[in-house]
Amino acid sequence: MARLAWARSHLRLRANVVLLLSLLALFAVLTGGSTLSSENLHNLTQQIAITAPVVLAQMIALLIGGMDLSVGAVLAMSGVLAVGLQPLGLWPAVIVAVLFGTLIGAVNGLLVTRAGVNAFIVTLGTMYLVTGALLTYTHQQPIAGTIPAFTEFGGGDILFVPTPVLIVLVISAVLHGFLVYTRTGRNLYAVGGNADAAFVTGIAVQNHKLLGFIIAGTLSGIAGVLLASSLNSGSVQVGANASLTSIAAAIIGGASMFGGRGGIGGALIGVIVLGVLANGMNAVGVSTYYQIGVTAVILIAVVVLDAVNSRVVSRPSLSNISRPSLRRRSNGVLVNRTP
């Protein structure tokens, strides 16, 4: 079973790589190669890198069997903090902004694990809290940055490579190593895949979930800093769609709503697919309205293929259907009794 799941997720990853390469080829042909120019690739990778951390955050939240609807609000608030606190100095502002994400992640995690409230509801609530705080703090006006060096995080270059790309690569490498090669990281998969089994095995289920939410919150904070840095301003609007689009990107990248599936590589490919798609459609001249529609169709296609595929390959239909109710029992009774 485990091997089957592994094989399937690798199949998904490979299918996504094929999808990505064919998209790149398609747009290169349609635009006569201008999407593959070094200038466009530079811009493309920079834009993708700026949106990547929030997808990584959502991936981790989905991985542990949760979900984080507050990522968009946290992203916006962290960006505003990173810009608004610049009178205190560059690094204090950036650090406070990232730690704000950590704080909200911890609040989410504590409410989910200690109060036993469903992750969807908790993060919906914190989304409203943070959005309210954001509106009160900014009065809906964008805040401009005052320290020029701040723009280096999101807009600068190191040896012709955009700085955010390097930052995201380092973060991804660390997270990938953590998830795959450490005991705690692998336990996160176990907790997300089957909380009952993980509990019986002796894993501190609640603490691992808490850790997952904290990582997700921190990554949203980092995403906010990168975005604010690339715009050199903190704005209220930036996070409006981030929660739902990050879920879409993570799902395209192989995550599951039921937890326990996905990984950093998948999340990166998901965000790259969406980034290449947007960039290519812009180059071809497709209007934003249809771009939104294309993203929606891809999401539905991936979800449908995934559902059909997993039903055919591994599970008889009855157990497939009974899964949500099994999960419910595990969330409500067994897991919440964990000391």
Partner 1 sequence: MPDSVTRALGDGDGEGSGRQWKVPFASLGRGRSRWIVVFIRNEMPLVLLVVLLLVGGLLSPVFLTPRNMLNILWAVSVLGIVALGQTMLLISANFDMSVGYVVGLVGVVIILTQTALGFGLVPSIAAGLLVAALFGLFNGGLVVLTGASPFLITLGSGTLAYSIALALTGSKTLYTPIASFTALGQGRLVDGLYYSTAVFLVLALALEYALRRTTYGRSLFVLGTNEVAGRLSGLLVARTKIMTFVLCSLFAGLAGLMVTSRDGSTVANVGVGYLFDSIIASVLGGTSLFGGFGGTLRTVVGVLVLGVLSNLLILMDVPAEAQAIVKGAVFLSVVWADGVLRSK
Kindly give, in sequence order, each residue whose CB lies less than 8 Å from that of residue 109, ignoring residues fewer than 6 positions away. 209, 210, 211, 212, 213, 214, 217
- Pick the piece of the chain touching partner 1 (CB under 8 A) from 95-103, 194-202, 261-269, 320-328: 320-328
Which one, 137 or 178, has the nearer CB to partner 1?
A: 137
Q: List, in sequence order, every beta strand (DSSP E) within the chain.
A: 143-144, 157-158, 161-162, 233-234
Per CB under 8 A, 284 contacts partner 1: no
Residue choice 117, 147, 161, 169 for contact with partner 1 (CB under 8 A) = 117
Query: Is 251 a binder of partner 1 (CB under 8 A)?
Result: yes
CB 143 within 8 A of CB 80: yes
Q: Which of 334, 71, 109, 120 shows the shortest CA–CA distance to 209?
A: 109
Member of 4, 92, 311, 313 binding partner 1 (CB under 8 A): 311
CA distance 149 to 170: 21
Rule CB under 8 A: choose which of 35, 126, 194, 206 binds partner 1: 126
Residue 165 or 252 with smaller CB distance to partner 1: 252
- For residue 307, the SS3 value is helix
DSSP, collapsed to helix, strand or coil, labels residue 116 as: coil
Rounded to the nearest 5 percent, the helix, strand and coil shares of the chain are: 80, 0, 15
Task: Look up residue 25 and give its two tokens.
Answer: 């080829």
Candidates 59, 248, 269, 271: give the one binding partner 1 (CB under 8 A): 248
Query: Of 238, 330, 236, 267, whose CA–CA distance to 60 is shortest?
Result: 267
Q: Rounded to the nearest whole angstrom, what is the least distance from the CB of residue 308 to partner 1 in the complex?
A: 5
Give the tokens for residue 129: 């809290």
Tell which one of 36, 103, 129, 166 touches partner 1 (CB under 8 A).
Answer: 129
Name the segment binding partner 1 (CB under 8 A); options: 81-89, 158-166, 250-258, 265-273: 250-258
Contact between 104 and 74 (Cβ < 8 Å): yes
In angstroms, the CA 260 to CA 277 distance is: 27
Nearest-approach distance from CB 30 to partner 1, in angstroms: 21
Q: Which is nearer to partner 1, 177 or 293 (CB)?
A: 293
C-beta of 170 vs 307, nearer to partner 1: 307
Using rule CB under 8 A, residue 300 touches partner 1: yes
Contact of 271 with 51, CB cutoff 8 Å: yes
Using rule CB under 8 A, residue 124 touches partner 1: yes
Could you say whether residue 312 binds partner 1 (CB under 8 A)?
Answer: no
> Toward partner 1, which CB reaches closer, 6 or 120?
120
CA dist., res. 46 & res. 168, Å (int):
10
Report if residue 313 touches partner 1, rule: CB under 8 A.
Answer: no
Minimal distance in Å, beta carbon 171 to partner 1? 26
Region 170-209 residues binding partner 1, contact defined as CB under 8 A = none
Stretch that binds partner 1, among 87-95, 117-125, 166-174, 180-188 (CB under 8 A): 117-125
- Closest contact distance (angstroms) between CB of 281 and partner 1 is 12
**Could you tell me which residues come within 8 angstroms of residue 42 by beta carbon, excluding any fewer than 6 positions away?**
160, 162
Is 210 a residue that touches partner 1 (CB under 8 A)?
Answer: no
Q: Return all residues near 316 (Cβ < 8 A) that are at least 6 apart.
A: none
Q: Which residue has the tokens 């239909």?
A: 317
Footprint on this chain of partner 1 (rule: CB under 8 A)? 69, 111, 114-118, 120-122, 124-133, 135-136, 139-140, 244, 247-248, 251, 257-258, 287-293, 295-297, 299-300, 303-304, 306-308, 311, 317-318, 320-322, 324-325, 328, 336
